[in-house]
Every structure is written in C-alpha cells, then in structure tokens.
Structure 1
Amino acid sequence: MTRAQGQLAFTDDAGRDVELREYGLDPGTDSALLPNAAVLNALQNLVRLATELCGAPFGVVNIISAEYQHQIGAWGVEPGVCSREDSMCAKVFLSREKTVVPDASRDPRFADNPFVTGEIGKVRFYASVPLQTETGFVPGTLCVFSDSARELSPEQVGMLEVLAKQVVELLELQHRTVQLDRTYAELRNSNAKLAGFAGRVSHDLRIPLTTILGYVELVEDDPDVQSDGTAAQYLHRIGASGRRMLAMLEDVLSYSRVGGGINPSQVSLRDVAEEVARDLGIENDDIVETFDVTLRADKGQLRTLLQNLLTNAMNYRSPERDLRIRISGVSNYHGATIHVADNGKGIDPEDRAKVLEPLVRLRRQGDGPGTGLGLATCSSIAKAHGGDLSLSETPGGGTTVAVSFPAGL
C-alpha cells in the first residue's frame, strides 16, 4: 500500500479494518484480537515495563477498529474488548500526539467516560502514546493508567514514547509475517499450477520424442546403415541429443514440482559445456573455447543454462566478425562463478534488466529466432541455486553473462 492509499484508508472506518487485517488482526468481531504467540508475549513484557517506568499499576496496548477497542497486550488487568464509543484512547489517538492527564475526572474529554465514571472503571491518571507506523497509519495506542491521580516527569513521558515505538516494531514484524505467509501461499498455489502444466507438457512431448528415439534405434540396427559410417554417426548424434532432451524434460518437470528440483553434485564445467556444444553441432567449428572449473550445481540445470546461453550467442552474433564464445569460471570458498562471454551484438546497459524478464525480446534487425525465455530461464536457474545472474559488456564488443553458484548447496 502506498502512502497516499494508506492515508485514505486511515480516515475511513472500512479502510481501517482492512489495514488492521494486513497486520494479522481481524477486527470484525467483538472478541479479543490475538497476534501470534511470540508477539503477544513480547507485547506483554513491553506493557509491564511501561507501567513500572511510569509508576502506574495498569497498562495496555489498544488496537482500535471501526467499532471496537481491543486490548491485545495488558499488565495489571485482564485484556478485554469494549465499544469504540466507550474507549478513552479512541477520543485522542488520531491526533497522533501523546496524551497525559493527571486526573481524567477533571478533563472535559474524559469526565463522562464510563471508564472514569465508575460504570466500567474508575480511571484517574491516564497517559497514552499513539502507535504510528512509517506509513502514517495509527492502529491504536500504548497507554498506562491508575485509579489515583498522579503526574509524569518529562523523562517518563519520553520513555513511554520509546516503548510505543517498540510496540510498533512488533506490530510491523507481525505485518511482515502475514505478508510472507500470504506470498508463500500464493507461491505454493502457483507452483502447483506450474507443476500440473509442466506435467502435461512433459507427457505430450515425451511420447513423440520416445517414438523418434525408438525409430532411431531401429534404423541404427539396420545393416545397411551400419555399413555407412556417416549415416551411423548422424544417427548416433540424433539419439544422444534426443536422450538428453528426454532427460531435460524430466529435469524441467522436477524443477517445477520442487521449486527448483536442485540435486547438486560436483560438476565439471568443461564436460557439460562440451556436451552442449555437441548437441548444438558446433563442437568442431572453433567457436567455443572452454576452461575447466569444478563447481557444485545441478548438472541438468547447468546444461540447460549453458545451452540457452550458447543458443543466444548464436542467435545474436555480429555480422562483422566470426562468432567466438569463451566459457570460464573461478572457484573459491564462497562458491563458483562461471562466465560465458561472446563477441556478438551485445546488449545496451539500459536493456540488461529488461531482457531477464520472461517473454522479452529486443527484436533488433538481423536477430535470430527466439521466445524471450532463454535468459529468464537462466536467471531462474541461478536463483534456484541461491545465486545470481548478471550481464556486462565483453571487452571489444559482445555480452558476458556471469552466473554465481554459492557454496553450501
């Protein structure tokens, strides 16, 4: 919620209740509002400290909804609920100023309040500080009170204000917890849908791919093909690539089901890169130069990442020079970082964040085919490993992709 949206909500009772729900506080009933147990215990300790510092026997944290006042933390009294109309704090909390009243029976704002007259209580001394969040929302107050008149020193008032800020921090902690819980639930729902989609796609692709591989095996067994070395070599390559594609389908399905499906092991960057170059048919064209480094990663996901990066380099090569791709890496106790540098068209600095988004293509003249998913997939693979992907310019022109794989996977 933006500050402007928040300010609208704060002046509207319906908006107030919506905002309270964002903090995990459901104000729709006259029953007690209960934050989570850890927050509740911490609130009670803060209220107790407030009463001791102010020399007052009673203290509460009040949350004020459209209709009620809910005491969610209390010391010296049992937490309860009353109507907002009867609340003392409801009369002053939206002023966003502290209120200190030595004798409430002599204050025209409170003299006829049921908490003062004896109908509900017999409050005399009363002090409260609004609980104001960074956005300006005031969910309620921290207040201390007594059945006898008394004064507070400036130092005591200052400490009460400090404790009110600590109460706000606790409420913000619960706010963030609610947001995380909601995001996690949405993520689980999204992952479930993605898993179902990936399962259907995987099933639909595996059937024709398995059929193709079956025919390849039949042709490989043909004596006429076996006697033709070139044909046998091509069939072997088709079969090897098809089997890797089949394994990749399983990897994608696992990735969608398990939030990444990462099964890390010690992997040779050179071995995987050479495998990908063979799949793309460029292993003998002096295009790819590979330097080895051992890293801990999911081999299938690393293969997918390199295949996407090499395909991108081929699709976006420069017409002014022969394509060259350099694959290297560094490894230390922090983990490993691999670099895939090409001498292609490059990506302007202002476009580098954009091209990492799904389905985004720059659509420049002469660019090769693509869906706009390659770099987004690579970025997701990096994040699934706990790492990151960044783009920079290759010296002399082109794009260098750096992907980190932290230690401890």
Structure 2
Amino acid sequence: MTVNEMVRDAVLAGTGLPIPGPDGHVEVPAASERLQNLVELARTVCGQPVTAINIITEDLQYQAATAGLEPYLCTREDSMCAVGFLSGEPTVLEDASLDPRYRENPYVDGRRGSVRFYASIPLVTDDGFVLGTLCAGARETGRLSGEQLRGLEILAAQIVDVLQLEHRARRLADALAEAERSNTLLAEFAGRISHDLRNPLTSILGFVELGEMDAEAGDDARLPEYLGIVGRTGRRMLAMVEDVLAFATIGGDLQPAAVSLADLVGDVIADLATAVEESGASVDSGELLFTADPVQTRVLLQNLIHNALAYSRPGVPPVVHITGHRGDDGAVLRVIDNGKGIASADRERVLDPLVRLDRQGDPPGSGLGLATCARIAAAAGGRLDLGPAPETGTIVTIHLGPGS
C-alpha cells in the first residue's frame, strides 16, 4: 500500500504518535517500559552495539526508544532509515560506506557519525502504513544470520503491536477522563437548572396562592396583576427550557456544506436588524469560503453577535468585526467587539452551561449562549477561545477543525 507522503503526519497523528508542532519541535515522551525492553532485546538478538526505534514523519526522524545511544532528532533528509523504509522490506548492509545510497549520508561519511554495519526493519501496520523502522548499527562492519534477521522482524511486528496498544490505552484513558468531566458538568448543569427553575416556580405558586386567597375573600381586583406576573414568569421559564433543549441537540446531526462567511453574517444581521438598529451598532465581515454545518454555524455567529450587542458599554455604540482565514487546523473565524469584555479569570467558566456573570447593567439571560457556541465548535472538531480585544472588548476565536 503506497501512502502519499504529503499526508504522513496526518496519518501518524491518527496513530497517537507525536508529530512536529508549528515550530518543527517534536515532544517525544520518555520510552515506555515495553518499548525499551523490546529495543534492548533487539540489541541482544542482533549482537550489535546500537539499536533504535525510529518514527519518521514527513520532515523528521525521532526515536521512540534506543539502546546503546541517547535518543536524537534529525531531519528526514539526513535519516539513514528514511532512504528505503517505505518499501516495507528489510535493509541489511555489511558496510554502509560501500552502498551508493548511504555513503554520502552524514551518519556514514563522518559529519555526524561513521556507521558501517547497518540493518533496518520497517515498522508496518496491518493496513500497510510504515511508521518507521527498527534499526541496528555499528562503527565496524558486520553481518546478520538468517535467524537474527528473522528475530528482528518478529520484534518489529511486536513493536508495532505495542505502539498501537499504547495508543488505544491513551485513548481509553482520555475517554475515561472526558467521561468523568462530563459527569461533573452534568451534575453542575442539573444543579443550575434546578436552581434557575425553582425560583420562578416558587414565584408562580406564590402568586397563584395569593389569587386563590383573594378569590375566597371575594376580592379579585388584583387578579389581573397576579396573572400578568405568572404569565411573564412562565414565558421566561419556557424560553429557558427551549434554550436547554436547543443546547442538548447541538452537534447531533451535522450537515457539512460550502459556506460563505459574508453571506452567513448578512443573514444574521438581517435576523438581528431591530437590535442592531436600536443599539446603533456597526457590524462588518470579511470573506471566507469554508465547509461547515450552515445552520449550526449561523446559530454560533448569531449568539456571538447578539452578545456583542447586549454586553456593550454604556453610551458606546457596539462595533463588531467578523473575520475569517485558513489556519493549520482548518477555518478560523474571529468575532471582535468593543464591549465590556470578559475578565481573564472568567473566560474559561463562562463557556460552561448556565454560567452568568454577576455584573451591574448586564441583561438577563439563560447562560447558554457561549456554551452553545463552544459546543458547536467542538462538534465540528474544533474549539472556541476567548481573549481580550486590543483596547477593550472581547475576541472570540473559533477553530472549526480540519474538515472545514
């Protein structure tokens, strides 16, 4: 199976192995005990002084475990193992300096090393993807017997199994941690819902009792007032329930399609025309074509623009800029306003459901707007970040994930 080398890092990321960050640096974890035992066993089997498990990305080679040398990082261009590893076949050289493929390699010609004996066994997954190699080397010439070569091939297969097993274990641990976090959030969510619904229900029951008492006394003069309060309170409760139900369904059925940022913002401004006009707001948008669920992305932008209008500074007309560009992980949208802003200590918790800031002059709300936006971004495989605007206000950055 031939794998396009331009997508090597994406495939490696799917295996859970480290890949280069934006600066080219690779965060390589300490070798696991299983991998370290296997690479030590490989050194014993082949009788050579140095063995290593090399992972090869699109640009780099790094070592997941070594025996006989300290792990090192090198470019793929300098890597000996990168020369022929994609063939999936072992390479065994008695003297690498005599092979035209290797004699000018910096690890052979003396610039970085003077390797003579060299053996490389590709690490091939069940679907044919080559992760890297199990290699052995020495400064002196040497040979491998057929049994030694077969032993290294068996160990290479075991290394692939261990790498995949450790990846599954990490994913399971992450899933368990996420489940614990979700359970905690669910308990907090239930507590907030209970609190937010108990108060209006108590108010409704209180005014119903007052109405009943007045009716028994033959005095119904204040009954319309009581009914008005009950009606307004009931409608607020209904709005909260509808917000909670909408929040619960976010991300359940994504329908990706081509989306124009400018068109989407234009639709949102039309929906919020009254609020925009009453606040004297200025809203502008850049252009970006990307792939996303248009309905949920529209909900996201509508919530963010509405927040920018609702949480403006007194006497300062809201100004909202929406921009979009392509990032390393897909489409990136930014909503920048000149409003009250969000204190750094509050930026993480306001993304949780039903969390509202207790600030003077803030309008009433369900506390689900930003949580809904964060959930939409997560459902798209991305995330939502909050930060301060350069002078005052908030910058909301939405990463929509690689599929956008």
> Which TM-score bucket, shorter chain as reference?
0.3 to 0.5
Q: Which has the higher helix share?
A: 1
User: Considering only CA atoms, is the larger Rg found in Structure 1 or Structure 2?
Assistant: 1
TM-score between the two structures when normalised by the length of structure 2? 0.46
